[in-house]
A and B are shown apart, each in its own frame.
Chain A
Amino acid sequence: MTLTLLQKGFASSVQDLGRFGFQKYGIIVGGVMDPPSAKLANWLVGNTDSAALIEYSFMGPSVLFTEDTLFALTGADCHPSLDRREIGTGRPCFARQGQILTVGGLVSGSRGYLAVAGGIDTPEWFGSRSTYERAGQGGFKGRLLQDQDQIPVGKPSEFAMRILEEMSRSGETMSKWFFSFHRSYRGTKIIRIIPDMLWKRFSEKSRHAFLTTDYQITASSDRMGYRLEGESLELDQPLELFSEAVTNGSIQVPRSGQPIILLTDHQSTGGYPRIAQVASVDLPMLAQLGPSSKLRFHSISVEEAEMLFVNSRKDFDLLRKRVHAQIASTVC
């Protein structure tokens, strides 16, 4: 079956958890910007973590279902409706053939996810369905989604089929319960960082400013990275740096002195001095912040960052079990 995209929303694309193992050829990892939200969406419709879904930014798409479909929306808050009836996010929803989902503008947060049972079934390219726009590969025809695209959907899991049948029988459009992460995107957000090896090469004034003043996300920000505006950062002495691998959360400082945080669609290598690295645990939150959001960096050790990440993943595994149990109790 297929989904018909009536309105594409903004920067909507097919994504999964990314394409690993090819950065040595200059091929980016890509994938969803907010993996916890994307995984939650997949769990709610009985998919595996790595099933492909649609990611949208700031403005969600409108979708026509060509068959009875189990779907879920997660990520940024919005007021989605199915044939004009509000349905909410973070829960499994059931659409009958011919019904239209309108996600609309995002109210809080910058990225949302639409998962459908069976996952988006575009061809894989090197083990992933993530859209790699620059190379014209992966995703739907290697590009962002457009109005009237017919997006293929895979076969739902048996678990998903049972939910689908149950909802079809009961005539329910959505579950009464829902899951959401207790995140707030308002106010100045604390983003934890680990100083880079070049940290000490920045002037004392710059290091101080970096940790004690706010940095604002500017409008020139996208899936590749966020350009920030704030106190200018400079090196004590000019450095001759060679291109080398950079990653999600690398904070580079080009000659302008205004830092750039690299995100999911960053190039595999870069040559600017890096002042710090965002702790992995804070990357999903960062992905949900939009232009004019304010950040305050807080320095932690790499051991602390690792522990925070490991603990968050343990909590996340518990959530997975709770979601699964909740769905099972609905069905059985």
Chain B
Amino acid sequence: MKVESFGDQAVRVIFGDRIAPSVQFQINQFLILFDRSPFHGFIEYVPAYTNVVFYYNPLDVICGGRKDRSAQRQVMDYLEDLLKRLDINLENEGKRRVIHIPVCYGGEFGPDLNEVAALHHLTCDEVIAKHSSPQYLVYMLGFAPGFPFLGGLPEELATPRRATPRLRIAAGSVGIAGKQTGAYPLDSPGGWQIIGRTPILLFTPKENPPTLLAAGDLVKFDPITEREYAQLKEGHS
């Protein structure tokens, strides 16, 4: 674990060099610890797979701290001290939220399901069973509001992106790109292989927080029928 400079108004705390649930767990524990005593001048943090960036206002840091040292040095010292106090209590590992996301696989909602199945010599039902069995870990949100970077896709489902990206993928679409799986919070262009769609919203602008998921959550995809999709969609609009 170490703290690195990131420009003149941020630092990056690095927890590892690989994508692993244990690294994400350390990050989450560290942020819980940090939330109890943020430093003066702190603006926000952004967790990612292996590290967290802390943004700060240098004037406020100096104003609330020492005048004879750079703000960045003071922030780094603070975070380095906090890292020493990080005591990973693995009993909390069981406390992750599990969020169920209903997905209607195939058909018009999952136009690439057949292709994904054919590529892996599986039936569509087998793809659905494999995709909906794991609990995926939300490592981070980014790219778009509420967009989760999920880990845990079964290797036999890993599929390259489409050769030609689609100009518009509907919000709620669930897809695979390489070893990643995820769901689109907004209509966007994209090259993911789309295998289904959820009727529930990942981006909820009227709620606080405005996203369904947060880093550290577990996601379980539950297969539903088109009829159930329609009913749930009704309930969410």
Tell me how many residues of A have a C-beta within 8 Å of chain B: 39
Contact A269 B8 (CB under 8 A): no
- A181 touches B (CB below 8 Å): no
- B170 touches A (CB below 8 Å): no
Q: Tell me, in angstroms, the Cα distance from A110 to B137 when the chains sit together.
A: 43
Tell me the minimal C-beta distance from B208 to chain A in angstroms.
8
Q: Tell me, in angstroms, the Cα distance from A268 to B141 when the chains sit together.
A: 9
Q: Tell me, in angstroms, the Cα distance from A189 to B185 when the chains sit together.
A: 40
Could you say which residues of chain B place their CB within 8 Å of the CB of A134? 144-145, 186
Tell me the minimal C-beta distance from B14 to chain A in angstroms.
9
Contact B10 A247 (CB under 8 A): yes
- B53 touches A (CB below 8 Å): yes
CB within 8 Å of B: which A262-283 residues: 267-269, 277-280
Could you say which residues of chain A place their CB within 8 Å of the CB of B45? 24
Contact A26 B147 (CB under 8 A): yes
A309-B7 contact, Cβ under 8 Å, with A26-B142, A135-B205, A242-B48? no
- A302 touches B (CB below 8 Å): yes
Q: Tell me, in angstroms, the Cα distance from A302 to B144 when the chains sit together.
A: 30
Interface size for chain B: under 10, 10 to 19, 20 to 34, or 35 or more residues? 35 or more
Contact B49 A279 (CB under 8 A): no
Which residue on chain B has the smallest CB distance to residue A23?
B46
- B72 touches A (CB below 8 Å): yes
Could you say which residues of chain B place their CB within 8 Å of the CB of A177? none
Partner of A24 from the list B141, B185, B203 (CB cut-off 8 Å) is: B141
Could you say which residues of chain A place their CB within 8 Å of the CB of B19? 242
Q: Tell me, in angstroms, the Cα distance from A305 to B10 when the chains sit together.
A: 12
- B201 touches A (CB below 8 Å): no
CB within 8 Å of B: which A9-25 residues: 20-25
- B58 touches A (CB below 8 Å): yes
CB within 8 Å of B: which A120-175 residues: 125-126, 134-137
Could you say which residues of chain B place their CB within 8 Å of the CB of A267? 142-144
Q: Tell me, in angstroms, the Cα distance from A137 to B7 when the chains sit together.
A: 29
Contact B6 A277 (CB under 8 A): yes
- B101 touches A (CB below 8 Å): no
- A228 touches B (CB below 8 Å): no
Contact A306 B43 (CB under 8 A): no
Residue among A22, A23, A24, A194 with most chain B CB within 10 A:
A24
Residue among B9, B10, B51, B62 with most chain A CB within 10 A:
B9
Q: List 30 A-B contacts (CB under 8 A).
A: A20-B44, A21-B43, A22-B44, A22-B209, A24-B44, A24-B47, A24-B141, A25-B210, A26-B141, A26-B144, A26-B146, A126-B208, A126-B210, A135-B186, A194-B8, A197-B5, A242-B50, A243-B48, A243-B142, A244-B48, A245-B51, A247-B6, A267-B143, A268-B142, A277-B6, A280-B8, A306-B72, A309-B9, A310-B58, A310-B62
**Those 10 A-B pairs whose CB atoms lie nearest each other, nearest first:** A269-B142, A277-B7, A245-B53, A245-B46, A244-B48, A305-B8, A26-B141, A242-B49, A25-B211, A306-B8
